[in-house]
Amino acid sequence: MSRIGKLPITLPQGVEVSIGSEAVEVKGPKGTLSTPLHEKIAVEMADGSVTLSRRDESRTAREQHGLRRTLLANCVEGVSKGFTKELEVIGVGYKVQVQGQTVVLSVGYSHPVNFPLPQGVEAKVDGAKLTLSGIDKELVGELAAKIRRVRPPEPFKGKGIKYVDEQVRRKAGKSGGK
């Protein structure tokens, strides 16, 4: 039995779940999300919690059990609390700005790099810290990863774009090995 899949998902105050034939739709104070269902997974609602169970014990059903429960739990958490990712821009002359629905990065290239924000993601800048927030965990995480890929942190001086909680492994330079 999947240890993750068998855990019930408790619904916070103000969150409604409607189970359809193709997808599960979750409505909450921050918005609406839906996640697709798999034909081998059954979804049941009972007194303020949602549980997922397998229809059979095939390999596919076992694979999908924990995955579908986690995707549904992420939807519930997203519409009730939301998700945030924080990035830091480190380097002399490196800066980040938000202009409308676009993140503008000046990170050592001859031109500024523009990132249009997708629908449902907001960005705030506080000095050299960029905070992305939204209700869709996958969308927020993928956007943060794309922004980090513009200039990943380098190991010698630590310059670049990194997550706030990320540890950059530093290397000694040319003279450090002697």
**118-136: average pLDDT:** 94
- Indicate if 83-163 has the same CATH topology as 9-80: yes
| Per-residue confidence (pLDDT) for residue 5, from 0 to 100 | 87
pLDDT > 90? residue 47? no
Confidence of residue 121 (pLDDT cuts 50, 70, 90): very high
**Cβ distance 105 to 150 under 8 Å?**
yes
**150-155: average pLDDT:** 93
**108-123: average pLDDT:** 93
Average pLDDT for the chain: 92
Nearest to 170 by CA among 151, 145, 153: 153
- CATH homologous superfamily of 83-163: Ribosomal protein L6 (3.90.930.12)
Report the distance separating Cα 61 and Cα 64, nearest Å: 5
Phi and psi of 128, rounded to 5°? -105, 15
| Per-residue confidence (pLDDT) for residue 21, from 0 to 100 | 87
pLDDT > 70? residue 53? yes
Confidence of residue 27 (pLDDT cuts 50, 70, 90): very high
Report pTM.
Answer: 0.89
- The structural domains of the chain, with segments of one domain joined by +, span 9-80, 83-163
Confidence of residue 1 (pLDDT cuts 50, 70, 90): low
Q: What is the CATH number of domain 9-80?
A: 3.90.930.12
pLDDT > 70? residue 102? yes
pLDDT > 80? residue 8? yes
Report the distance separating Cα 55 and Cα 50, nearest Å: 16
